[in-house]
Amino acid sequence: MASSEILVELTGVGVERDGRWLVRGIDLQLRRGEIVTLIGPNGSGKSTTAKTAIGIIEPSVGRVVRTAGLRVGYVPQKLAIDWTMPLSVERLMTLTSRHSRQEIEAALASVGVSHLAQAEVQRLSGGEFQRALLARALIRRPDLLVLDEPVQGVDVAGEAALYDLIRSIRDRTGCGILLISHDLHVVMAATDTVICLNGHVCCRGTPESVASSERYWQLFGHRSSPALALYRHHHDHTHGDDGSVTALPDAASDAPCGCDAVHHREHEHRDAHGDHEERARGHA
Ligand SMILES: Nc1ncnc2c1ncn2[C@@H]1O[C@H](COP(=O)(O)OP(=O)(O)OP(=O)(O)O)[C@@H](O)[C@H]1O
C-alpha cells in the first residue's frame, strides 16, 4: 500500500464560512487501492472535507494536491433531482453525461442491477437506489470514488452486501475510495484507514486502533445509553502466523474532543481465538 500512488493529499486544510471554521487542520492522504473512511457525528465536517478533497469546495487555508488527470466518481448525500418527474434508472445514468448503452449495461451489471435499467428510480428500494447511484459514479471509470453515506436507507442485510460490493469494486478496479459515514459499522467492514472527525481530526488509524483509542471513545462511546447501544472493540494485540502475540501501538493523534455523540449499535467481535466478540445489536 505504501508504494501506491497518492491520489489526493490535504495538508493543514481549513474551511471557513461566515466567520466559522467548519473544519480546521485536516491532514489526509488517499492512495490508489485504499479505502479511507471519514467518521464523526452530524455536522462534524465529513462532507465538507470530502468536497474539499475533490475540489467542489476551495479550502480557506491549507493545501489540496490531486494527482494529474484524476477522475472522480462522487455519490453525494443528496441528489438535486426533481423527484416529481418519472425517471428511469437508465436515464439517471445519463443525466449529466452521455454514455453508450453498452457502458450503461456494464455499469449496472457491475453492481448487480442490470434488471433494473427500465425501472423507475422513485420505486427502487434503498439498496437498489444506492447501487444505481454507484453505477452512475462507476460509469466514469473513476480513479477515486467518493461515497457520502452509501448505506442510507438500506436495511442491515443490505448494508453488509453494499460493503462487500464497495470492497469488491476497490479490488476489481484498483480505485481509491473515500467513504463518509456516521455509522461505525462501515468502518469495521471495509476500511483500511479511519479518520475520526469533529471539526478537526480527533484520531486516525486502522479501524482496530481507532476503535481502541481514548479519543474515539470520548467521541462515540462514553455517552452511550443502553437504548443507543455503544460500540465496543478491544484489539490491543495481533496474532502472528506462528502464534506469537504482538501489542498494537495506539494510533490516536491530534487534539482530543468531547462531544455528545452517541452511536446506535453494539458490536462484539469474536476472532478465531475466541477472545474478542463482535455482534451487531439494534439498528437505529
Ligand atoms: N456552505 C456552508 N455555509 C455555512 N455552513 C456550512 C456550509 N456547509 C456546511 N456547513 C456547516 O458546516 C458543518 C459541517 O457540515 P458537513 O456537512 O461537512 O458535516 P457532516 O459531518 O458531513 O454532517 P452529516 O453527518 O450531518 O452529513 C455543519 O455545521 C454545517 O451546517
Domain of residue 115 covers 79-141
Strand order across the beta sheet in which 72-75 lies = 72-75, 144-148, 176-181, 35-39, 193-197, 201-205
Which atom of ligand 1 has the smallest separation from the CA of 22? 12
What is the distance in angstroms between the CA of the first residue and the CA of the last residue of the chain? 35
Distance between CA atoms of 113 and 109, rounded to whole angstroms? 6
Nearest protein Cα to ligand 1, atom 30: 43
Residue 123 falls inside a structural domain? yes
Residue 124 falls inside a structural domain? yes
Which atom of ligand 1 has the smallest separation from the CA of 77? 27
Is 225:219 a contact under the CB 8 Å cutoff?
Answer: no
Residue 278 has pLDDT above 90, yes or no: no
Residue 31 falls inside a structural domain? no
pLDDT in tens, 216-256: 777 776 543 332 232 333 334 444 455 455 555 443 333 33
Which atom of ligand 1 has the smallest separation from the CA of 40? 21
Residue 72 has pLDDT above 50, yes or no: yes
Q: How far is the CA of 23 from the centre of ligand 1 (A)?
A: 9
Residue 274 falls inside a structural domain? no
Residue 159 falls inside a structural domain? no
Structurally, the chain folds into a number of domains equal to 1
pLDDT at 71: 96
Q: How far is the CA of 151 from the centre of ligand 1 (A)?
A: 19
3-class state of residue 176 by DSSP: strand
Alpha helices for the chain (secondary structure H) = 46-53, 89-93, 101-110, 126-138, 156-173, 184-190, 207-211, 214-216
List the helix and strand counts (H, then E) for the chain.
8, 11
Residue 73 falls inside a structural domain? no
pTM: 0.78
Residue 62 has pLDDT above 50, yes or no: yes
Which atom of ligand 1 has the smallest separation from the CA of 182? 25
The complex scores an ipTM of 0.97
Nearest protein Cα to ligand 1, atom 29: 43
Higher-confidence residue of 123 and 3: namely 123
Residue 272 falls inside a structural domain? no
pLDDT in tens, 14-36: 999 999 999 999 999 999 999 99
Q: Which residues line ligand 1 (CB under 6 A)?
A: 17-18, 22, 40, 42-48, 77, 182
What Rg, from alpha-carbon coordinates, does the chain have? 19
Q: How far is the CA of 197 from the centre of ligand 1 (A)?
A: 12
Q: How far is the CA of 46 from the centre of ligand 1 (A)?
A: 8
Is 268:229 a contact under the CB 8 Å cutoff?
Answer: no
Residue 114 falls inside a structural domain? yes
pLDDT in tens, 170-185: 999 999 999 998 767 6
